[in-house]
Structure formats: structure tokens, C-alpha cells
């Protein structure tokens, strides 16, 4: 529907005829039957030529011998003149050869409709534009600080890190990117994120030739990451956020205090209960730089690395087994020498692969043995295990078939004497050889 640019009002009228008519019949009836009715000043032809009235728009359809439709006329005259013109339309009694009735249903104020559109659009502009751009001084400062921090963050082998990680003499291991950003904000630029409990080899390698401190969240997740680090990395000291808190949520003073109270790695290994549960109370180091710089860096031998980590379960109870009562799940018998079962993944690797047993051993998440079988029956042992194994230690060759069934059973880690040929490697299973764990095979 076209409305004249200068229209003020829009006349709406309904048309009903007793026969079949078309648009041209209706327009002809309007001009023909109103001619001379309102005088020269309101003659429809003259009004259209002077642009006081727009074109007559008609939409009409016929069904079962009756035609019905709607007619609209745009007017730029005042209210009175427009009302008179509208009333004249209702005098039309015939359209073509058919009897007809025309009823004016309403006169729409085009300017009022335009004003409503203006108000609605202005409201949208206010909410969409001004609210997004008006910032308080505090918001501006926060945005600038965030931009600076993001500008400083770097990557080390694809993992979020501070700019000093590559060249520095010390490194701080944290859980995620937000922890690295928090430490950057407080001026600590040698942190690198391990991105979860599956500590990447590239990050673990960093700890072998420089002083390393693990700075972890004060929850069960932090303990699990510490347990993983104890097996794959060479950590010198450990600091935890206060119980129930995350590193990313700490203030500057809390970060510095936690790092000053870091404890030696050995204290974590020998602790009778998780350090988080114990309140993370350790001996304070000398105040100053938050970067861990112990006077004597420990040179760890394979015996040192096999020391059992804290094996408390999720409830915080001490589950370290009594050597005199160490039993396997296979009939509850002690080992032939009477030695307790290994308490660490490294210990099981040394016992199974280092001992050249020619066996496969399935382990639970707390590293107790679930079952054992000959290495030649590895596939069946994993497939038929009653409990889901957390880790698998295989004194033999890890084949594609064994790796696939391990992925299907939800195994987290597989350690083998050697690898066969793989056509695909499931991302859900971490696989390593005894050599990578630095265990003689």
C-alpha cells in the first residue's frame, strides 16, 4: 500500500457487492458517484491533482458470486475535510452493475503512527547504544587493566604462560589460564598453566631443569593435580590457596602469603593427611620474591621419584596400606616376598615392567591393584574387568586392539614396555612407555 509523502490521515473502508466486480469497477464508482456531491472545493479529481488526496488503493476478492474487500485513501487535508470525504464514500450504492455497500471503519492518524515508531526506535537506541558505551571510571580502569594483562600473557608449547617462563630460572605451575592472568596482575610473570589433571609433557619437562613450585587451588582438584605432578614432574615446593578457594579468586596479599608459606615437595609426599584438609600450614620461606628459589635444589634419583604420594581418598581419610596386611584383589594373598603392594603408578610400573613379569596389571584410581593376567591376555583382561580400570600397566607391546578396548572401558592411562603400530590414537587415553617415565624396562 502506497501512502503519499505528505499524508496526514488514512481512510479505511470495507466494500461488499452483490456480484463479481474488480478493482477498476470500484475506483470508477468512487469517482463517478461522488462527482459534484461535495462541491468544487472537495471534488475528488481536483483533490488528487492538488496532491491533497492520494491514490485510491483497493483490494477485493470474489467468492460464490459476492465480492468483498477493503479500500484505503490517503489524505493530507484537515480532520473535518477528511471526515467529509470519508462520509461521501458511504453514499455509493452501486459498483458496476452490482448493488454495493461501503462502510468507513476507521480514519488512521498517520502522524500518530509515525510518532509511535519514533518513540519505539528511540527507546531501542537508548538501550542498545548508550547503555553499552557509557562506562564508569571503575569500569574503564578495569578494562584497561584487563587489556594489559591479556597483552602480557604468552604461550609455552600451546599452554597459557607468563612472558618469563621460557627464560626464567624458576617456574610456577598453576591450573588454568585465569590463574596465570591473576598472577600477571600481581606482577608474577613466570607462571604456566597445566590445564587440568592431565599434566602435559611439555610443562612437566620445564620442571626438570629449573626450580618449580606448584601453586594449586585449595580443593580436591588441587590435590589430584598434585598427585599427577608427583608422578610426571620434578616439583620442588607446593603452595595451596586457602581451603575451598581458587588461585584466581585471591587478592594480591593472599597470593603472596600463600607463596611465602609454600612447603617442600617432600612434605606433600610424607603428609599423613592432605595439606588442603590440614589448612595448608607450612614453614615460611624468606619474604621477598614470590618465585620459589630454594637454596639447595634437590637432585632426584629414581628411588626419590618412587616415594609414595599422598593417597587419601575424596573423603580425606588416610588410606595408606599397612605393609603387613598388603593384599591383592586376586584371592587376598600377600606377595611372595611379603612386600606391600606399590602405592604409586611409578611403583607398579617398576614392579610389572621393570620386574619383567610378562603380565598386565589393572589399577584403580587410588592405585591399588584390581587384577592381573598374562600379557598375552591383555585384551580380555581389560574387556572383562569387573571394575573400570583407571590405569593399565602392561609388560608387553601396546597394540591398536588393546588401546581401543582401553578407550571403550574408560581407562585414563596406559603404560607399556613398548608401542606397536597405531592407525589412530584415542584422545581420551594417555599412553606412555616405561622409558618415558624413566623406569628401566
Q: Which three cell numbers stand for residue 253?
A: 596479599
Q: Assess if residue 94 is contained within a domain.
A: yes
Q: Are residues 21 and 78 in the same domain?
A: yes
pLDDT at 440 over 60: yes
How many domains does the structure of the chain reveal?
Answer: 3
Helix (H, G, I), strand (E, B) or coil at 372: strand
Q: What is the pLDDT of residue 339?
A: 62
Q: Are residues 68 and 202 in the same domain?
A: no
Q: What is the pLDDT of residue 221?
A: 79
Strands 391-398 and 413-419, sheet pairing: parallel
CA pair distance 205, 208, nearest whole angstrom: 6
Average pLDDT over residues 260-273: 72
Q: Assess if residue 122 is contained within a domain.
A: no
Q: Are 360 and 417 in contact (CB under 8 A)?
A: no
CA distances, 260 to each of 63, 106, 173, 254 (Å): 91, 81, 15, 10
Q: Assess if residue 58 is contained within a domain.
A: yes
Q: Are residues 167 and 293 in the same domain?
A: yes
Average pLDDT over residues 111-116: 82
Domain that holds residue 412: 340-433
Q: Assess if residue 438 is contained within a domain.
A: no
CA pair distance 167, 206, nearest whole angstrom: 11
Positions of E strands within 8-81:
9-17, 53-63, 66-75
User: What's the helix, strand, coil split of the chain in %, to 5?
Assistant: 35, 25, 45
CA pair distance 195, 193, nearest whole angstrom: 5
pLDDT at 204 over 60: yes
Average pLDDT over residues 218-234: 82
Q: What is the pLDDT of residue 132?
A: 53
pLDDT confidence of 293, banded at 50, 70, 90? Answer: very low
Q: Assess if residue 323 is contained within a domain.
A: no
CA pair distance 145, 134, nearest whole angstrom: 18
Q: Edge to edge, what strands does the sheet with 154-156 contain?
A: 154-156, 159-161, 191-193, 170-174, 211-216, 237-240, 263-264
Q: Are 422 and 396 in contact (CB under 8 A)?
A: no
Helix (H) or strand (E) holding 201: helix 201-206
Average pLDDT over residues 189-201: 83
Q: List the CATH number of the domain containing 375.
A: 3.40.140.20
pTM over 0.85? The answer is: no
Mean pLDDT (the chain) is: 78
Q: Are residues 148 and 293 in the same domain?
A: yes
CA pair distance 6, 110, nearest whole angstrom: 10
Q: Assess if residue 349 is contained within a domain.
A: yes
| Contacts (Cβ under 8 Å, ≥6 apart) of 374 | 358, 359, 360
Q: Assess if residue 327 is contained within a domain.
A: no
Closest to 30 in 3D by CA, of 90, 109, 80, 105: 90
Q: List the CATH number of the domain containing 16.
A: 3.30.70.260
Q: What is the pLDDT of residue 297?
A: 36
Q: Assess if residue 302 is contained within a domain.
A: no
Q: Are residues 71 and 179 in the same domain?
A: no
CA pair distance 80, 132, nearest whole angstrom: 47
Amino acid at each position: 500500500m502506497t501512502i503519499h509523502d505528505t499524508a496526514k490521515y488514512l481512510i479505511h473502508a470495507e466494500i461488499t457487492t452483490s456480484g463479481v466486480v474488480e478493482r477498476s469497477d470500484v475506483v470508477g464508482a468512487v469517482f463517478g458517484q461522488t462527482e459534484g456531491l461535495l462541491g468544487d472545493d472537495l471534488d475528488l479529481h481536483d483533490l488528487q491533482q492538488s496532491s491533497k488526496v492520494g491514490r485510491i488503493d483497493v483490494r477485493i476478492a470474489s467468492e460464490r458470486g459476492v465480492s468483498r474487500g477493503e479500500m484505503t485513501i490517503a489524505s493530507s487535508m484537515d480532520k473535518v475535510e477528511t471526515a467529509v470525504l470519508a462520509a461521501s464514500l458511504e453514499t455509493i450504492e452501486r459498483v458496476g452493475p452490482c448493488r454495493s455497500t461501503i462502510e468507513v471503519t476507521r480514519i488512521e492518524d498517520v502522524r500518530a503512527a509515525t510518532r509511535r515508531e519514533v518513540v519505539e526506535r528511540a527507546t531501542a537506541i537508548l538501550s542498545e547504544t548508550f547503555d553499552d558505551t557509557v562506562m564508569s571510571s571503575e569500569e574503564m580502569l578495569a578494562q584497561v587493566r584487563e587489556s594489559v594483562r591479556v597483552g602480557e600473557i604468552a604461550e609455552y608449547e600451546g599452554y597459557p604462560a607468563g612472558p618469563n617462563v621460557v627464560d626464567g630460572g624458576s617456574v610456577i605451575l598453576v591450573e588454568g589460564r585465569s590463574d596465570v592472568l591473576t598472577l600477571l596482575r600481581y606482577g608474577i610473570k613466570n607462571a604456566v598453566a597445566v590445564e587440568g589433571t592431565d599434566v602435559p609433557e611439555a610443562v612437566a619437562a620445564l620442571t626438570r631443569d629449573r626450580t618449580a613450585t606448584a601453586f594449586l587451588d585449595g580443593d580436591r582438584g588441587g590435590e589430584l593435580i598434585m598427585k599427577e605432578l608427583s608422578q610426571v614432574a620434578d616439583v620442588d615446593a607446593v603452595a595451596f590457596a586457602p581451603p575451598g578457594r581458587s588461585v584466581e579468586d585471591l587478592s594480591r596479599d593472599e597470593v603472596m602469603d600463600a607463596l611465602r608459606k609454600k612447603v617442600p615437595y617432600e612434605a606433600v609426599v610424607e603428609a599423613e593427611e592432605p595439606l588442603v584438609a590440614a589448612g595448608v600450614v607450612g614453614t615460611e620461606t624468606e619474604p621477598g620474591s614470590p618465585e620459589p628459589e630454594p637454596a639447595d635444589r634437590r637432585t632426584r634419583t629414581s628411588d626419590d621419584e618412587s616415594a609414595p604420594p599422598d593417597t587419601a581418598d575424596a573423603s580425606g581419610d588416610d588410606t595408606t596400606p599397612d605393609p603387613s596386611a598388603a593384599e591383592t584383589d586376586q584371592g587376598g594373598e600377600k606377595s611372595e616376598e611379603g612386600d606391600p603392594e606399590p602405592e604409586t603408578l611409578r611403583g607398579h610400573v617398576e614392579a610389572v615392567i621393570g620386574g619383567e613379569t610378562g603380565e598386565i596389571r589393572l589399577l584403580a584410581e587410588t592405585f591399588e591393584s584390581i587384577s592381573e593376567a598374562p600379557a598375552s591376555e591383555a585384551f580380555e583382561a581389560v574387556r572383562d574387568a569387573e571394575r573400570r580400570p583407571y590405569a593399565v600397566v602392561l609388560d608387553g607391546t601396546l597394540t591398536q586392539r588393546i588401546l581401543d578396548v582401553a578407550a571403550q572401558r574408560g581407562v585414563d592411562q596406559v603404560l607399556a614396555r613398548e608401542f606397536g603400530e597405531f592407525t589412530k590414537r584415542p584422545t581420551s587415553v594417555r599412553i606412555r612407555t616405561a622409558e618415558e617415565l624413566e623406569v628401566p624396562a
